[in-house]
C-alpha cells in the first residue's frame, strides 16, 4: 500500500483560476478530519457529470469505511483523510487523497489514492494509452484501505528516475534505510499529473513496514519529453503549471 502524503492541505479549496481550469465546489465534510471530495460546479458536459458521479461514489465508499472502522475499533477509532487537487484542466482532472487509519488492528496504516480523469470523456485515464509502450512494463491494480481500486504501473525506466529523485532529496537516514527499497525489484507506482510540480508525480505501492521510503517524487516535463511522452499530455501539464502561477 502506498504511503500517505503528509503535506496535503486539510481541505479542498474553491478553484476558479483561469478559463482552462475547472471551477470546483466543496461539499460538507464526511466527518471530523474527513473532508469530502470536491465537485465540479455546474457540470456542463456528460464528461464532467460522469466525473462528479465518480467522486460521489468514492465518498460513499469512504462513508462505509468510516462505519466499518468505527465498528471494529470502538473507542480506539482513528481515521483521517486529506486531499489536494493536483490538476484542474486543461484536458485532465487529477486529485490525490492521503489517508491514515487505526481500526483496532495490529498497527495503524495509511496510503495514497490518485484519481485522474480525462475531461473529454469523464473516464479514468488509461496510462497504457497515454505513456509510450517502452515506459510501461506491466499494469496492475491494488486496493486502498477503503476498498478503492488503484491503478499501478511497473516501469524499470520510471523506477530509475524515481529512485534517483528520492535519493537526491533524502537525508542520510533515508539513503541508509531506503536505497535498497527504491532500487529493489518489482516496484509499482501510482501516477498523476501535477500542475504545481510541472510533471508527473510517482508514488510507489509499498508494504506498511517500508512506507517511510515512499514519498511522492516528480518526473519533470522535460525528462518526460526526452522519454517520448506524447506532446498533448505534456502541453496540458505545462498549461496548468502556467495557470497555477
Whether the predicted pLDDT of 107 surpasses 80 = no
What does the pLDDT read at residue 4?
43
Sign of dihedral through CA atoms 62, 37, 191, 93? positive
DSSP state of 74: G
Whether the predicted pLDDT of 88 surpasses 70 = yes
What does the pLDDT read at residue 74?
85
Whether the predicted pLDDT of 235 surpasses 80 = yes
DSSP state of 103: -
DSSP state of 56: H
**Given pLDDT bands bounded at 50, 70 and 90, which one contains residue 224?**
very high
What rounded mean pLDDT belongs to the chain?
Answer: 89
Work out the widest C-alpha separation in the chain, in whole angstroms.
53
Contact 211, 110 (CB under 8 A): yes
**Given pLDDT bands bounded at 50, 70 and 90, which one contains residue 75?**
confident
Burial 115-135 (b: 16+ CB within 10 A, else e): bbbbbeebeebebeebbeeeb
| C-alpha cell, 222 | 522535460
Whether the predicted pLDDT of 23 surpasses 90 = yes
Q: How far apart are CA 1 and CA 214, in angstroms?
A: 10
Q: How far apart are CA 114 and CA 97, in angstroms?
A: 6
Average pLDDT score over residue span 159-166: 97
What does the pLDDT read at residue 122?
97
**Given pLDDT bands bounded at 50, 70 and 90, which one contains residue 186?**
confident
What does the pLDDT read at residue 10?
33
Domains and CATH numbers, the chain: 24-244 (3.30.565.40)
What does the pLDDT read at residue 108?
80
Whether the predicted pLDDT of 12 surpasses 50 = no
Dihedral pair phi/psi, residue 17, rounded to 5°: -95, -30
Q: What is the DSSP string of 126-183?
A: -HHHHS-GGG-SEEEEEE-TTS-EEEEEE-HHHHHHHHHHHHHH--HHHHHHHHHHHT
What does the pLDDT read at residue 20?
52
pTM of the model: 0.89
**Given pLDDT bands bounded at 50, 70 and 90, which one contains residue 73?**
confident
Higher pLDDT, 205 or 104: 205
Amino acid at each position: 500500500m502506498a504511503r500517505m502524503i503528509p503535506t496535503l492541505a486539510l481541505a479542498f479549496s474553491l478553484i476558479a483560476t483561469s478559463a482552462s481550469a475547472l471551477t470546483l465546489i466543496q461539499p460538507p465534510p464526511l466527518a471530523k478530519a474527513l473532508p469530502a471530495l470536491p465537485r465540479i460546479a455546474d457540470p456542463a458536459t456528460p464528461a464532467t457529470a460522469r466525473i462528479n458521479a465518480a467522486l460521489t461514489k468514492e465518498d460513499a465508499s469512504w462513508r462505509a469505511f468510516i462505519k466499518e472502522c468505527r465498528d471494529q475499533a470502538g473507542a480506539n477509532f482513528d481515521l483521517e483523510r486529506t486531499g489536494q487537487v493536483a490538476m484542474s484542466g486543461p484536458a485532465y482532472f487529477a486529485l490525490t487523497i492521503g489517508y491514515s487509519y487505526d481500526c483496532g488492528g495490529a498497527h495503524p496504516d495509511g496510503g495514497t489514492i490518485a484519481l485522474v480523469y480525462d475531461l473529454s470523456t469523464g473516464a479514468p485515464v488509461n496510462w497504457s494509452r497515454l505513456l509510450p509502450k517502452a515506459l510501461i512494463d506491466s499494469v496492475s491494480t491494488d486496493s486502498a484501505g477503503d476498498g478503492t481500486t488503484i491503478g499501478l504501473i511497473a516501469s524499470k525506466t520510471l523506477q530509475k528516475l524515481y529512485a534517483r529523485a528520492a535519493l537526491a532529496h533524502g537525508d542520510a537516514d533515508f539513503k541508509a534505510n531506503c536505497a535498497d527499497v527504491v532500487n529493489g525489484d518489482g516496484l509499482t507506482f501510482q501516477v498523476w499529473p501535477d500542475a504545481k510540480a510541472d510533471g508527473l508525480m510517482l508514488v510507489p505501492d509499498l508494504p506498511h513496514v517500508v512506507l517511510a521510503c515512499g514519498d511522492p517524487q516528480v518526473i519533470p516535463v522535460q525528462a518526460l519529453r526526452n522519454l517520448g511522452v506524447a506532446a498533448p499530455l505534456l502541453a496540458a501539464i505545462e498549461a496548468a503549471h502556467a495557470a497555477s502561477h
